[in-house]
Structure 1
Amino acid sequence: MADKNSSPKIVVLMYHRIDIAETDPWGLCVSPENFEQHLQVLKSEFNVIGTEELLRQISAKRIIRNAVCITFDDGYADNFIHAKPLLQKYNCPATFFITTGLIGQQKQFWWDELGNMLLQTKQLPAFLSFKIVNEIFEHHLSEPLLTTEMRRLHKQWKYHEEPPTDRCELYLKIWERLVVLSYEEIITVMGTLKKWVSADLLEDKRSFPMNDFQLNQLKVDPLFSLGMHTITHPDLSTKKSLSQLKEIDGSKYALEKNYGIKTNMLAYPYGRYNQSTIDVVCRLKIAACFTTDQETVNADTDMKMLGRFQAFNWKGEFFKNQISGWMF
């Protein structure tokens, strides 16, 4: 019997943004310079395949060695501006999972906007009190004025680290409450927070969702494919089955109706799902679903729970070592 550890494995990479941000608590940004180094490594050391080829190999139970697959979540405009030309330059296929209800909106995704407000605004009121659904949330801010040192700490801070400032702690507290809400509830809370901040936010349009023109440009290039990422990016594991069905099926319908794309691939927002989610995707006959579980793909992988590895803002050599560690 063959050693399972010696069987060929595919590493599926997950990117979000190809850009540089003032603050990035979730590590979503990879600079264009480092992303190009990633692609150089992939082309010289590995076999880059598209997600359709990935599914074919799993179905046939014939996995090629050294294979890597590139995916992007959310549908940020910088994917079109920065990632697309580099992927074309190195002839690397990629799949973009699109949050269809936010296409073309002229504002940031809510988690980025929240970070912009709390981590980058120069002066905040010292006291915050507002309603989050049925909860009265209150917080006394110990550091209302953003100092140069705080700005430096915010730029370096990642969510899994101890919050270096009161603002970082506040960001996590509010994020944890918002992530389980409906999109309508999130927008209501964000509107309240904007009034509290009472300052103009510096928004970079590259951090907005892609628009119709950009998605249509991606669609016509055979290197690229588009997949579902729901309508409003909810935590599916906290939603009832009917709500999950509407989010997933609505995303599928929007891609087909508005862009002529018949897709059978989904990436779970936040990588979160439950048995109800699996039941829904089976009912909708979705062929492949991608998680954020750090697991390689092999011939026996359940196609409703395909693992992925997040690529961070690493230099090329470190990136190469990471992939080799995951694969071998």
Structure 2
Amino acid sequence: MIMYHHINSDDLPLSNSDSMLEAHLRLISTRFTTAFPGESITSESICLTFDDAYYDFYHYVFPLLKKYNLKALLAVPSAFILSDTDVMSEHRLSLKHHEIYEADNYKTYAPFCTYTELKEMVQSGHVMVASHSMNHVNLSEEGVDLDQEIFGSKVALEENLGFRVDSFVLPYGKYNDAAVALASEYYPYVFRIGNALNPSWNGIGGLIYRIKGDGLKTPEELFKPMKQLGFWFKTMIKTLKGSR
């Protein structure tokens, strides 16, 4: 499982250029078969996940998925998703990362994918939607309404999309036992950050780990032997501890 965020963003630790991402996805298309959560997997299977459902996913990534016949899971924070928009692409892509969640910028600039765009992508067969909570909050913080963030987001997505949502991606990789228990109650597949591999869709300790794919220096960086060795080592340690 690989995790990505932005394309061509000013937030460089959480972004790749469009040219780097295309080279990376082209490489993946020659070596692996992409899979959605729950599908049959082999040693050559890979699951691509993109967090936050920024408009740059629809603008840059979706065309590449179609071009190279790939699949990706898109984690959506449902409170920021508009039904549709007539805001021009250049304006939707213009916000700096820190501005996206400020005040009502999500209404004014539409920096996230709309429900119209999400439906198009899901219907294409190249994208599956996951919940990324309602408001993209740290679920381990005191006072967070876990039922609203975890279950409410599922209801909102399913009602607006007309598709079942079976995956939940923990925002910021932050969680506590209560958040994991509730997410596991409503979603068969719960994802976290962690730079480890997974023996199956059950993950490790009930959570599916994802390798950071942002800030790539080369298209093949994640697949180099020393990188893979590091991922396998962390996987073994986590598996032996039975921890998540």
* TM-score, length-scaled by structure 2: 0.79
Who is 2:135 aligned against? Answer: 232
How far apart in 2 are the matches of 1:313 and 1:292? 15
2:98 counterpart of 1:113: yes
5 Å-filtered alignment, 1:87-102, equals: 87-102=65-80
Structure 1 gap segments, 5+ residues each: 1-11, 58-62, 117-186, 192-200
Give the aligned residue type for 1:225: M
**Equivalent pair of 2:184/2:190 in contact (CA under 8 Å):** no
Who is 1:290 aligned against? Answer: 191
Q: Secondary structure at the match of 2:163?
A: coil
The structural deviation recorded for 1:222 is 1.3
**Of the candidates 11, 25, 37, which is equivalent to residue 24 of structure 1?**
11
Give the aligned residue type for 1:273: Y
The structural deviation recorded for 1:317 is 3.3
Q: Secondary structure at the match of 1:227?
A: strand
**Of the candidates 299, 309, 313, which is equivalent to residue 215 of structure 2?**
313
Relative to structure 1, the CA distance from residue 31 to residue 111 in structure 2 (aligned partners, 3 Å threshold; closer, same or farther) is closer
Q: Secondary structure at the match of 1:96?
A: strand
**Equivalent pair of 1:14/1:310 in contact (CA under 8 Å):** yes
**Of the candidates 162, 166, 169, which is equivalent to residue 260 of structure 1?**
162
The structural deviation recorded for 1:30 is 1.1
**Of the candidates 151, 169, 173, which is equivalent to residue 271 of structure 1?**
173
Pairwise CA RMSD of aligned residues? 3.0
Relative to structure 1, the CA distance from residue 228 to residue 239 in structure 2 (aligned partners, 3 Å threshold; closer, same or farther) is farther
The structural deviation recorded for 1:310 is 1.2
**Equivalent pair of 1:287/1:303 in contact (CA under 8 Å):** no
Q: Secondary structure at the match of 2:50?
A: strand
How far apart in 2 are the matches of 1:275 and 1:292? 16
2:148 counterpart of 1:246: yes
5 Å-filtered alignment, 1:130-145, equals: none
Who is 2:53 aligned against? Answer: 75
Who is 2:241 aligned against? Answer: none
Radius of gyration: which is bigger? 1
Relative to structure 1, the CA distance from residue 279 to residue 39 in structure 2 (aligned partners, 3 Å threshold; closer, same or farther) is same
Larger RCO, structure (CA 8 Å, separation 6 or more)? 1
**Equivalent pair of 2:66/2:126 in contact (CA under 8 Å):** yes
How far apart in 2 are the matches of 1:66 and 1:283? 30
The structural deviation recorded for 1:327 is 5.6
2:40 counterpart of 1:36: no
**Equivalent pair of 1:66/1:327 in contact (CA under 8 Å):** no
2:44 counterpart of 1:66: yes
**Equivalent pair of 1:289/1:303 in contact (CA under 8 Å):** no
**Equivalent pair of 2:119/2:161 in contact (CA under 8 Å):** yes
Q: Secondary structure at the match of 1:292?
A: coil
How far apart in 2 are the matches of 1:32 and 1:72? 14
Deviations for 1:32-69, whole angstroms, at most 9, x for unmatched residues?
1111111121122233222231xxx5xxxxx5213211
Give the aligned residue type for 2:148: K
Q: How many pairs are equivalent? A: 219
Deviations for 1:272-325, whole angstroms, at most 9, x for unmatched residues?
1110112212333x1010001121010463474110011023222334327644
How far apart in 1 are the matches of 2:221 and 2:159? 42
**Equivalent pair of 1:41/1:320 in contact (CA under 8 Å):** no
**Equivalent pair of 1:288/1:303 in contact (CA under 8 Å):** no
Give the aligned residue type for 2:11: D
The structural deviation recorded for 1:267 is 0.1
Structure 2 gap segments, 5+ residues each: 234-244
* Percent of matched pairs sharing the same residue: 24
Who is 1:137 aligned against? Answer: none
* TM-score, length-scaled by structure 1: 0.60
Relative to structure 1, the CA distance from residue 303 to residue 86 in structure 2 (aligned partners, 3 Å threshold; closer, same or farther) is farther
Q: Secondary structure at the match of 1:277?
A: helix
